Amino acid sequence: MTLVERFLKYVSFDTQSSEETGVTPSTSGQMIFARYLKEELESLGLEEVTLDENGYLYATLPANTDKPLPTVGFIAHMDTSPDMSGKDVSPRIVQQYDGKDIVLCEEENIILSPERFPELLEHVGEDLIVTNGKTLLGADDKAGIAEIVSAIVYLQQHPEIKHGKIRVGFNPDEEIGLGAHKFDVQKFGCDWAYTMDGGEVGELEFENFNAASAKLTFKGRNVHPGYAKDKMVNSMLVANRFISLLPAEETPEHTEGYEGFYHLIALRGEVEQTTVGYIIRDHDRTRFEQRKQTMQQLTNRLNQEYGEGTVILELHDQYYNMREKIEPVMHVIDIAFQAMKDAGVEPHVKAIRGGTDGAQLSFKGLPCPNIFAGGLNFHGRYEFVPIPSMEKAMNVIVRIAERVALER
């Protein structure tokens, strides 16, 4: 089975995760896919193939040299985003893309256009895999899984490439932020690993946001509006006051690069009670802590104005910037950087404006930067992946395995 055939098979599985179920994996389709992958890995002759009750799949490609070498892992997630259906994915290969509009669904006039998605023009002349305009594609992260498995097969077929023990890990529920929660780092048993979950060719990421969630509950006092003077407290207006006191330009739509933000994600209310949801993001840990302090200071301020208990703030840290865990072991970045060069890929080291399983795994003791998988426009009907990008990602995995052996 070729890399492309493998990918097209994988996207036929409906593995959309869900924040509603409260179980792991969050949907049954992920376990169905995990069982398929387990059988595939076993049929390829991998060792120590295990699938636990939570849908975490691990396997080993044994070393083919007696030279003592570190154990390196490659990780990808099996779920697709809840943002759009991943059921009955119907991919199509656009051969030698000509730089023009791609009609995904003629009857609904759904068009993948370089005018709207200029990144398409970086792939003129390449074969692209696109959707039919009705579902997402699933390159996030089934491209990563296909690349890892195909790289393992390549190494098996080329024993002249010496490598140490390689561990493979496929996990559920990354898209709902739970991919690393039940990942057994000790069982995985690696010195370090790489998630194959980035986008454009050359991406190499070891910085991500520090992240927290904030839930605010605003308590009001409802009185007949005809007799409400000096009595009514409208919780929706108190919530609006809180929102207006945060910096207006520090929101996702006004920030880029290393700029952090407050992101209002939920608002629901009546006079008596309003609830507001935020996520807080910043690459810099000090500024991250300051953002949380700002939320608390505004809470205190409004409680002084409207009465204690009017505003209740619940803050929860979600994950941290993995950079602080990667910097002491920067050789894992150097190896990936050189492996890309070996594979003819120009590395682009960049900070993730988001999170990754690798961040949480790094804080669990497994340094785990992120490498490109090649897909673009994730989480929607306009998702696509250039076939050469997947091939380059696969080659980078092979070159990393080789580079680890060469440098020891």
pLDDT tens readout for residues 149-200: 999 999 999 999 999 999 999 999 999 889 999 999 999 999 999 999 999 9
Side chain identity, residue 186? Q
Q: Quick check: pTM over 0.75? A: yes
Position 12 scores a pLDDT of 98
pLDDT tens readout for residues 63-98: 999 999 999 999 999 999 998 999 999 999 999 999
Question: What count of residues does the chain have?
Answer: 408
pLDDT tens readout for residues 209-230: 999 999 999 999 999 999 999 9
Domain chopping of the chain, boundaries? 3-208+322-406, 210-319
Position 362 scores a pLDDT of 96
192 vs 208: CA distance, rounded Å:
18
Whether residue 354 is predicted with pLDDT greater than 90 in this model: the reply is no
316 vs 211: CA distance, rounded Å:
9
Q: Which fold has domain 3-208+322-406?
A: Aminopeptidase (3.40.630)
- What are the residue numbers of the active site? 79, 174
- Strand locations in 220-327 (E): 261-269, 273-282, 311-319
What mean pLDDT, rounded, does the chain reach?
96
318 vs 167: CA distance, rounded Å:
27
Position 15 scores a pLDDT of 98
Q: Considering only CA atoms, which of 73, 236, 255 is closest in space to residue 164?
A: 73
What are the phi and psi torsion angles at 40 (to 5°)?
A: -65, -45
Sign of the dihedral through C-alpha 209, 26, 3, 58: positive
Position 111 scores a pLDDT of 97
Structure tokens at 263: 């992101």
Mean pLDDT of all residues in 56-66:
97
pLDDT tens readout for residues 20-39: 899 999 999 999 999 999 99
**Look-up of token digits 């791609």:** 102
Position 355 scores a pLDDT of 80
What are the phi and psi torsion angles at 46 (to 5°)?
A: -70, 155
Please give the share of the chain, as a percent, with pLDDT higher than 90. 95
Domains 3-208+322-406 and 210-319 share a fold: no
Mean pLDDT of all residues in 363-389:
96
Whether residue 341 is predicted with pLDDT greater than 90 in this model: the reply is yes
Phi-psi region of 338 (alpha: psi -120 to 50; beta: other; left: phi over 0): alpha
Sign of the dihedral through C-alpha 317, 321, 327, 330: positive
Q: How far is CA 5 from the centre of its chain?
A: 24
Side chain identity, residue 27? T
Task: Write out the CATH class of domain 210-319.
Answer: alpha beta
Please give the share of the chain, as a percent, with pLDDT higher than 70. 100
Phi-psi region of 202 (alpha: psi -120 to 50; beta: other; left: phi over 0): left
Whether residue 407 is predicted with pLDDT greater than 90 in this model: the reply is no
Across the beta sheet with 128-130, the strand order is: 92-94, 128-130, 384-386
Position 220 scores a pLDDT of 97
Mean pLDDT of all residues in 365-380:
95
